[in-house]
Structure 1
Amino acid sequence: MPDGPAHVLQTAPRPASWNRSTHPDQLRLRRYLDDTREVLVGRIPSQPWALHLNVAISPPQQLTHSADLDNYLLPIAGALDNGQLVSVWGTKHEGGSSTITVAPAAPTPAPDWQVWSGSTTASADTVAYKVQVREFVADAELLPPGPVALQIVFTVGPRRNWMNLWKPTIDALDPLLGRVDAHRAWHPQDGRITELGLHKVVDPELRHDVRLQIAARSIGN
């Protein structure tokens, strides 16, 4: 995670919204993004950098059953990205304040967790992409109940929008996370993820294929 001051957000973080532009959810989201930009004026590094959003959860939300972190990371990462954002982190906790940290990206050793890897060839907006990702973790043991830490490295071509890969990739990880409904595919228990790290590596030789490394562990087990 980026090492730097944690700036307290005066406007509560908002998840991504796919409603029409005039919907109240979209209006609240834009206000939050504008307020957060003001907090970070002059602080975004011009070299490769990392972001950490720490989300405070309040009732009726439950720490491991709501507030999917990727939905919170997508809008703020998209709003702040200057082309140099390579590492995006999300955490959540009960009570307190929400904070954001930005700092130059720093290489660190890979986590000493179980890792699954593979390459995809299908378009990320197709079921075929999710099927390919699920195959990477098909033989994984379901993580024990409770909070989970997850990190994913996306190795992509220079023109690929890696943020579009976050949701369909996590949607395919039900062998690790379990399903919300045993009869519904692509709906994992991703509310369990209380620590999420998403990282970009650019390979100039890649065009449409995506190489993935997926690392996960239980927290507190």
Structure 2
Amino acid sequence: MGPGSQVQPITAPVFYARPEAVGNALEVEPALASWDKAGSPGQARSAAFIAGMRTVITGHLSATSDPLALRLDIGLPRHVPLLSYHDLDNYLFPLVPKLAASSGRQFASVWATKRHAPTSVVALSQAYATRDPGGTYSFEVTTTAAAESTAFKEQIRDQIAVGRPLPDGGVALQLAFVVGPRRAWPNLWKATIDSLGPILGRDAGAGQWNVHDGRVTDLGLHCIVDPNAGNRVAIAIRARTATPPTTE
């Protein structure tokens, strides 16, 4: 950037409405992201889940205009605790990037919930901008570091350091990103959520990025692309105590 040039402001983040259309039941069990070696049971479950999702939504894609919104409601057995493990972002990644790659369509908004239920349901719709949801915590942060770096997490954590963990129980979390054209925004999800210790809490003595993200029972992720963003990422963080999920 030359002398006297000015940094262009970034477009304000946009929140999109949750798809409310009646979804389709999945015939395959949702699987968490797996970083095991190829051919492992974890990788096989992940591949089957992605294939099952692709089968369900492919017929709806051609009838749905951009921008796209995806909703995934995870049904868990009653004996499985809702507020630990089964992190919602780990169901959405690598699912969403794989769906985008196979369809050639990008998602502007993706949602996930978890509850005790015998089935999991997926819905696809056009994404419609909606009002800022607000929340107990409403933070606006900006980062410049690479998502895989510790600096990325530190920049977010330091900008929300005034927060105190929400009371015990489920959390409804929405993150609205503004990224440059070269950023793959799904790669930002986990690092951002791992940085939210001041909101989600963590165990005494636990690593600073080992936060209680399993307590997020309602997750909304949104993105717009701004050519002026460059390496900057703007994130609007909205968090509140979640309404107890319904069971079936």
Counterpart position of 2:116: 94
Counterpart position of 2:23: 6
Normalised by the length of structure 1, the TM-score is 0.95
RMSD: 1.5
Runs of at least 5 residues in structure 1 that lack an aligned partner in the other structure:
none
Whether 2:190 is the aligned partner of 1:167: answer yes
Whether 2:208 is the aligned partner of 1:219: answer no
Per-residue deviation, residues 24-68 of structure 1 (Å, max 9, x unmatched): 111121112112211122212341110011001125531011210
Q: Secondary structure, in 3 states, of the residue corresponding to 2:60?
A: coil
Counterpart position of 2:89: 70
Q: Relative to 1, partners in 2 of residues 1:5 and 1:165: Cα closer, same or farther, differing over 3 Å?
A: same
**TM superposition outliers: structure 1 runs of 4+ over 3 Å:** 180-183
Q: Are the counterparts in 2 of residues 56 and 92 from structure 1 also a CA contact under 8 Å?
A: yes
| One of 49, 57, 64 as aligned partner of 1:32 | 49
Q: Are the counterparts in 2 of residues 118 and 213 from structure 1 also a CA contact under 8 Å?
A: yes
What is the number of equivalent residue pairs in this alignment?
A: 221
Question: What is the letter of the counterpart of residue 187 of structure 2?
Answer: N
Residues 187-202 of structure 1 correspond to what in structure 2 (within 5 A)? 187-202=210-225
Residues 40-189 of structure 1 correspond to what in structure 2 (within 5 A)? 40-44=57-61, 45-58=64-77, 60-81=79-100, 82-113=104-135, 114-189=137-212
Counterpart position of 1:204: 227
Q: Are the counterparts in 2 of residues 181 and 187 from structure 1 also a CA contact under 8 Å?
A: no
Q: Secondary structure, in 3 states, of the residue corresponding to 1:132?
A: helix
Runs of at least 5 residues in structure 2 that lack an aligned partner in the other structure:
1-17
Normalised by the length of structure 2, the TM-score is 0.85
% identical aligned pairs? 39
Q: Are the counterparts in 2 of residues 33 and 76 from structure 1 also a CA contact under 8 Å?
A: yes
Q: Secondary structure, in 3 states, of the residue corresponding to 1:40?
A: helix
Q: Relative to 1, partners in 2 of residues 1:60 and 1:75: Cα closer, same or farther, differing over 3 Å?
A: farther
Deviation at 1:220, TM superposition (A): 4.3
Question: What is the letter of the counterpart of residue 61 of structure 1?
Answer: V
Question: What is the letter of the counterpart of residue 100 of structure 1?
Answer: V
